[in-house]
Structure 1
Amino acid sequence: MNRLLDRNDNLSIIIAGIFAIITGVGVARFAFTSLIPSMLENYLDITFAGILASLNFAGYLTGSILSVFIKDINQKVMLFRFGLVLAVLTTFVLAFSTNETYWIIARIIAGFAGAMGLVVGSAIVMTKLQIESKTKAMGIHFSGIGFSILTTDLLNRYILSSGGTWQDAWMYLAIFGAILSVYSIYILSFDKMVKQNVVKHKFDTSIFTIFVVLLIMAYFTEGVGFVVQGTFLPDIINNLPGLAGYGNLTWTLVGLAGIPSCIIWMRLAHKYGSVNIIIIALLIQMVGILIPTFTTNIYMNFLSGIFYGGTFVGLVALFMNLGGQLAKHNPVVLMGALTTSYGIGQVIAPLYSVYLIEKFGNYDYALYLTALIVFGGVLLLLIAKKFEIEKI
Structure 2
Amino acid sequence: MLTEAHLSEDEPPAGAALAGPSLPAPFAAASPAPRVAIVGATGAVGIELIRCLEARAFPLASLRLLASARSAGRRLPFAGSELIVEELTDDSFEGVDIALFSAGATISRHYAPLAAEAGAVVIDNSSAFRMAPEVPLIVPEVNGALLAGHGGLGGSGGMIANPNCVAAILTVALAPLNRVQPIRRIQAATYQAASGGGAAMMEELREGTRAALAGKDHAPQVLPQPYAFNLFSHNAEVDARSGYNGEELKVIAETRRILGLPALPIGITCIRVPVLRAHGIAVTLTFDSPFGASEARRILEAAAGVRVVDDRAANHFPMPSEASGQDDVLVGRIRTDLGDPSGCSLSLFLVGDQLLKGAALNAVQIAEALVAR
TM-score range, shorter chain: under 0.3
Structure of higher CA gyration radius: 2
TM-score normalized by the length of structure 2: 0.23
TM-score normalized by the length of structure 1: 0.23
Could you say which structure has the greater relative contact order, defined with CA pairs below 8 angstroms and 6 or more residues apart? 1
